[in-house]
Structure 1
Amino acid sequence: MDNYHDPIRHLKYLRQSLAQDNEAIGFFISAGCPLSVEMPEGEWPLIPDVQNLTLHINAQLSLDKKYNLLIAEIEKAGKNIKNIEDILSFLRSLLVVSKGGDVRGLTEADLTDIQSKICTEIINKINVSLPNNETPYHSLCKWIRSIDRKVAVEIFTTNYDLLLEHALEDLEVPYFDGFVGANRSFFDLRAVEDNLIPVHWSRLWKIHGSINWCQEEINGERRVYRSSEIKQNVSHLIYPSHLKYEESRKMPYLALIDQLNRFIRKKSSFLILSGYSFNDAHLNDTIVNALKANPTAMVLGLMYGEYEVELKTEVEAEVDSEVEAEVDIDVGEVSTTLTERYPEAYKLAKKQHNLNIWTFDKAIIGTNLGQWRRVHAKEEDDIELVRFFGSENQLKLGDFSVFTDFLKKIIGIKRESSNV
C-alpha cells in the first residue's frame, strides 16, 4: 500500500481538538466499551458484547416454546438472531400488528410476555457496578471535569447499562440526561431541544434507552419515567421500537436521535466514536446525513483491532476416494482469508471526507486509506504521543482503555498552535 498516515501528526491534531474549550466536543460510547474494564480473573467481561449478551439470553430462554417460535420466525425472515436489538425490533414490529389476532403463531399476550422476559434477562445481566474508581469510564469523566468549558461536553451512548452514571457520580461531575424530578423523574423534551441546562453540566444521551427507564400508561396516555432503582415487573424502556412519528415524538428515542443530529450540525463539532461497529443503519444515516449538511464537523471512529480479520473456513466436499487420491484433495483442511473487520464503516468513510476511521494498523482519513507510518521521526517529538504509537507500529486508541489513558495524559494541556 502506497498511502500512509503519520500517527504523530494526527495524534497532535486530536490532542489540539480536545483542548478546545469553546467548540462542541462529544463522545459516542457503544457496546465495545465495557469490555475494556479490567476484572478479576474469571469475571471478565463486566458486561458482554451484543452477540454474547444475545447468546446468554437465548440460553436462558431456551426452554420457552414461545420464545423459540419467535426465533424461528426471525430466522425465516432472514433477520439476525445473534443481535438482541434486532430480536427486540422484530418482536415489537409484530406487536404493532397483533391487535385482535395472532401474527406468525403468536398472540399479543405472547409477544408482550416474551418482551418482558427478554428485558428482565438483559437487566439481570447488565445491572452491574464498576469494580473500582480507576476504570476507563472514570478516566473519561476526569478529563470532562478537568476543563471549565464554554460549551458543554455531550456523551451519546447506545448502551443501556448504568456505568457512565456510576463514573460521573463517583467523581461528582454534574450531568443532565433529559429527565427532571426526584421521585418519578420525567423526560423534559423542552429542556433537551432548547438546551435549557447550565453549561457546566455535561449531557448524557442514552439513545437506546436504559435499564432504569420505565414506561406506564396513565389515563390512556403512555408516560416514560426514570427510576432511582431498578424495578421489577414494569415495562422497561430498552431500545424503543421505531413507532410512527406522531406516537413517539415525545418519547426519548426520537428526541435523542434529533439531539445527535443537532450536535453534529454545530459549527466545528467534533464527535469521537468508541466501541461502535457501525451495525445500526439508522444511526449511520443520522451521522452521515448530518456530516453532509455540515462540512465543518468531524466524526472520528476509533475501532478496536486491525483493519482486516482472518476468516478461517474448513474445506467441505464429498469426493470419490479414487478421485481424491488422484488430485490429492485434503478434505477438512482449514483455509484462511483476510476480510474487512468493519466493512460498513469503511464504505461510509471512503465517501465522506469528514468521517475518519482509525484502526490499529490503518486509517481512513479524508476518504484516503493508508497504513500508520512515521515518516519524519525526530528526537524532539513529543514522547507522550510517541508512546501511543508504540514499538509495534500500531495506534491502539480503538481500545477504550488506551483512548481514555490518552485523555488522562492530556489533562491540563493548554491549546497548542494550530500548525500541525
Structure 2
Amino acid sequence: MAHIEDPNRQVGYLQQCLSSDKKPIGLFLGAGCPMAVKTGTDGKQPLIPDIAGITKIVCDELSKCKDCGPLLTTVQGHFTNDGRDNPTVEDMLTHIRALRAVAGKDQVRGLCADKLDQLDKRVCTLIHQIVDKALPDTETPYHRIAAWVDAVRRENPIEVFTTNYDLLMEQAFEDCCVPYFDGFAGVRKPFFDLRAMEEDMLPPRWARLWKLHGSVNWYQVANKGVFRGTASNDGDLKRVIHPSHLKYQESRRMPYLAMIDRLRAFLKKPTATLILCGYSFRDEHINEVIVQGLQCTQTAVAFALMFDKASKCLHAMPLAANRPNLNVLARDGGVIGGQESAWPEKDAESVSSDAGRWVTWIPVDPTNDKAKRRAEFALGDFAVFGQFLQELVGAVRQPLEVPSGK
C-alpha cells in the first residue's frame, strides 16, 4: 500500500453523514454484527455465532440424526466432487433447493424430493434454534442504532438492510419505542404486503427494516403468501429463510426480490449514504446490486467498515478498487476513492495520550515503548460503531414497563 491516508478524516466524513438530517442514510448489518454482543459467564461468548459457527453447529446436529445424517453426507459429497471447499450452511441450503427445483417426483444426485424437503426443513429449524436469541440489555449496539434513528428529525427515513435472520434489530426498535416498517401489515397474523412496500407512504420518522435473507419468524403458507409470527406447530409451513437466489414460484410475491428492490431503490437516491458493518462481501448477488447502484448513482457513497485487516478483506477490496464511491475501511488500511491506502505510522511522542476511541495507535514493536505507533481504525467493530452512534446523539432511551395483564 503506497498511498497513506488519514483515518481520522474518514471518521469525520462518517460523522458528517450520520449527523445529516437531509441525506438518505442506510445501514447494512451483516452476520458479524451479532458477534459484537457478548454473553456467557465470562462475558466473551457471542450472542449468535458467525456463519462458520452456525454451519458447524448445524452439521454437528445433522450428523447425530439417523435420518438426516446420511443426507448431509450425500450433500457434502456433492461439494467435494464439485471442488467446492468449506461450504457454509447458506451454500448447503442453496444447493438443496437447487436440487429440489429439478427433482420433481424423481431423484437427482441420489436424493429424492421428499428427502430434500426433509433436509431443508431440518436445517431451517436448526438455524432458528441457533439465532432466535434476545438482546441481554439496553446498552447493546442495536439499541444505540435505535436511539440514533430516533434522535434526529429527518427528511428521509433511515433504512436498515440486513442479511441476518435474527430478531435483534426488531427488539431494539421496540425496546426504544422506535416505529418501523418491515414489509408486513396486521396484528393477529401479519402478512407480507408488497404494495405497501412499493408505495411507502409512511412518515420519515418510521425506520424501514429490510431483511434480505428472510427471518426466523417468517412463514410461507401454501397458496396464501408469507406471514410473520410464531408457529407452535410448523406442520406444512415453510420457514422463509432464503440465502439462495433461486427464482421461487410467484417470486414477485416473495419478500426476497422485494427486499432486494428496496436496496436498489435506496442506492438510486442522490447523495445516498450506505454504511456497511459486519458484512464480508461473500454474497455475490448483493455485491452486484451494491456495485451497480453506486455505478448508476455517482453521488451515492458506501462505507464498508471492516473488522479485519485489509489483507483479509479478499472480497471487498477488489470491488472497491474498481468503484470509487465504495470505500473499504479496514483495521490497517483499505480502499478509498478507488485507491488502496494504508493508515499512517507516527513517532510515539507525537501520538496524543488521549487518542480517540475510533482511531487507536498501536506500537509497531510491543516490546518497545518508544517504537513507532501505527493507526488502527476501530469502527469495523460493531460494538465500537454503536458507541460512535451513541456519542452523536446521547443516551439510549430506557424501555417502557409493559403491563403483564394480570
Structure 2-normalised TM-score? 0.87
RMSD: 2.2
User: Using the alignment, how far apart are the partners of 1:236 and 1:394 within structure 2?
Assistant: 41
Residue 132 of structure 1 and its aligned partner are, at CA, apart by 0.9
Give the structure 1 partner of residue 9 of structure 2.
9
Query: Which runs of structure 1 show a deviation greater than 6 angstroms over 4 or more consecutive aligned residues?
Result: none
Give the structure 2 partner of residue 416 of structure 1.
none
CA contact (8 A) 1:6 1:374 kept: no
SS in 2 for 1:391: strand
SS in 2 for 1:120: helix
Match for residue 288 of structure 1 among 287, 291, 298: 291
Residue 145 of structure 1 and its aligned partner are, at CA, apart by 1.1
Per-residue displacement from partner, 1:78-130 (whole Å, max 9, x unpaired)? Answer: 33543111100010000101112011111110000000100111111111111
CA contact (8 A) 2:90 2:243 kept: no
Residue 66 of structure 1 and its aligned partner are, at CA, apart by 1.8
Q: Which amino acid counterpart does residue 123 of structure 1 have in structure 2?
A: H
CA contact (8 A) 1:74 1:90 kept: no
Residues 396 and 240 of structure 1, relative CA distance in 2, 3 Å threshold: closer
User: Using the alignment, how far apart are the partners of 1:130 and 1:294 within structure 2?
Assistant: 36
User: Using the alignment, how far apart are the partners of 1:172 and 1:222 within structure 2?
Assistant: 31
CA contact (8 A) 1:34 1:47 kept: yes
Give the structure 1 partner of residue 149 of structure 2.
144
Give the structure 1 partner of residue 241 of structure 2.
238
Residue 38 of structure 1 and its aligned partner are, at CA, apart by 2.1
Match for residue 166 of structure 1 among 155, 164, 171: 171
SS in 2 for 1:193: helix
SS in 2 for 1:279: coil
| Residue 229 of structure 2 is aligned to residue 247 of structure 1 | no
Match for residue 278 of structure 1 among 276, 281, 284: 281
Give the structure 1 partner of residue 120 of structure 2.
115
Correspondence list, 1:76-155, <5 A = 76-155=81-160
Give the structure 2 partner of residue 33 of structure 1.
33
SS in 2 for 1:26: strand
Match for residue 391 of structure 1 among 354, 361, 368: 361
Correspondence list, 1:187-226, <5 A = 187-217=192-222, 221-226=223-228
Residue 302 of structure 1 and its aligned partner are, at CA, apart by 0.3
SS in 2 for 1:72: helix
CA contact (8 A) 1:36 1:401 kept: yes
SS in 1 for 2:253: coil
Residue 263 of structure 1 and its aligned partner are, at CA, apart by 0.3
Per-residue displacement from partner, 1:151-180 (whole Å, max 9, x unpaired)? Answer: 100000000001111111110110000000
Give the structure 2 partner of residue 65 of structure 1.
70
User: Using the alignment, how far apart are the partners of 1:51 and 1:240 within structure 2?
Assistant: 14
Give the structure 2 partner of residue 342 of structure 1.
313
Give the structure 2 partner of residue 306 of structure 1.
309
User: Using the alignment, how far apart are the partners of 1:15 and 1:390 within structure 2?
Assistant: 17
User: Using the alignment, how far apart are the partners of 2:189 and 2:37 within structure 1?
Assistant: 31
User: Using the alignment, how far apart are the partners of 2:233 and 2:329 within structure 1?
Assistant: 40
Per-residue displacement from partner, 1:240-286 (whole Å, max 9, x unpaired)? Answer: 64333772011100011011011011010000000000100000000
Residue 347 of structure 1 and its aligned partner are, at CA, apart by 0.4
SS in 1 for 2:107: coil
Residues 3 and 81 of structure 1, relative CA distance in 2, 3 Å threshold: closer
Residue 231 of structure 1 and its aligned partner are, at CA, apart by 5.7
CA contact (8 A) 2:91 2:244 kept: no
User: Using the alignment, how far apart are the partners of 1:279 and 1:146 within structure 2?
Assistant: 33
Q: Which amino acid counterpart does residue 285 of structure 1 have in structure 2?
A: E
Residue 136 of structure 1 and its aligned partner are, at CA, apart by 1.1
Bigger Cα displacement from structure 2, 52-61 vs 363-372: 363-372
| Residue 5 of structure 2 is aligned to residue 23 of structure 1 | no
CA contact (8 A) 1:168 1:174 kept: yes
Q: Which amino acid counterpart does residue 297 of structure 1 have in structure 2?
A: A
Match for residue 322 of structure 2 among 351, 366, 376: 351
Give the structure 2 partner of residue 227 of structure 1.
229
Unaligned 5+ segments in structure 1 are 309-340, 413-420
